[in-house]
Amino acid sequence: MNATSADPRLEGRQLKRVAFDERTIAERVQQLGAEVTAAYPDGDLLVLGLLKGSFIFLSDLVRQINRPLHVDFLIASSYGDDTVSSGTVRMVYDPETILEGKHILLVEDIVDSGRTLNRLMDLLGERKPKSLEICALLHKHIAEELRYDTKFVGFDAPHEFLVGYGLDHAESFRHVPYIASLQ
């Protein structure tokens, strides 16, 4: 889709460009599903989605993973009422699933600063999972503070403000089926 074409989902706003179209996303998610399947041949697998941004990606991803698994979610906040991260991560919703002895795959929409992921990985690691890995749809490769590797990455992200496929701007655009940069 051309970013300047009329799309009723855009609420009259223009996008700069489409970074990843629907077909490209679907193909990569299918590949990621195969990679995850191969990486976890046995054991209990819990796919843990970081809300809200990961929900569409997680939904598509788990349908491409060809093995038994469980799904849960968590919500973390480092912003409060501010527009700049405080650096303090607070769990708003903590998964009720027991993590001990399970393979945990934390699914994130985009790796940016890495502060939230660091804190979440520390918190989840304290619960003694068998393994703990990150799967991100997008990675900007600017997270100088990130102490953990991102084992599975959908796409290297351009250094632009991206929306669509779960990513938002002021809670808008999550439902757009492609990823685009916002003007």
The reported pTM is: 0.87
Per-residue pLDDT of the chain (183 residues; tens, 9 = 90+): 455 456 766 766 678 899 999 999 999 999 999 999 999 999 999 999 999 999 999 999 999 999 999 999 998 866 444 434 445 666 666 677 889 999 999 999 999 878 888 989 998 999 999 999 999 999 998 878 889 999 999 999 998 989 999 998 888 889 999 999 987
| Positions marked active-site | 112
What DSSP line would sit under 98-161, residue for residue? Answer: --TTSEEEEEEEEESS-HHHHHHHHHHHTT--SEEEEEEEEE-S--TT--S--SEEEEEPPSS-
Identity at 139, one-letter amino acid code: H
For tokens 């068998």, name the residue. 130
Q: What integer pLDDT is reported at residue 11 of this predicted model?
A: 64
Q: What integer pLDDT is reported at residue 1 of this predicted model?
A: 47
Nearest to 120 by CA among 84, 95, 143, 157: 95
Domain ranges of the chain: 22-160
- Assess contact for 99 and 128: CB atoms under 8 A: yes
Tally of CB atoms within 10 A around 64: 16
Pick the CATH number of 22-160 from 3.40.50.2000, 2.60.120.10, 3.90.1150.10, 3.40.50.2020: 3.40.50.2020
- Assess contact for 157 and 138: CB atoms under 8 A: yes
* C-alpha distances out from residue 110 to 19, 69, 140, 159, 174, Å: 14, 23, 7, 11, 13
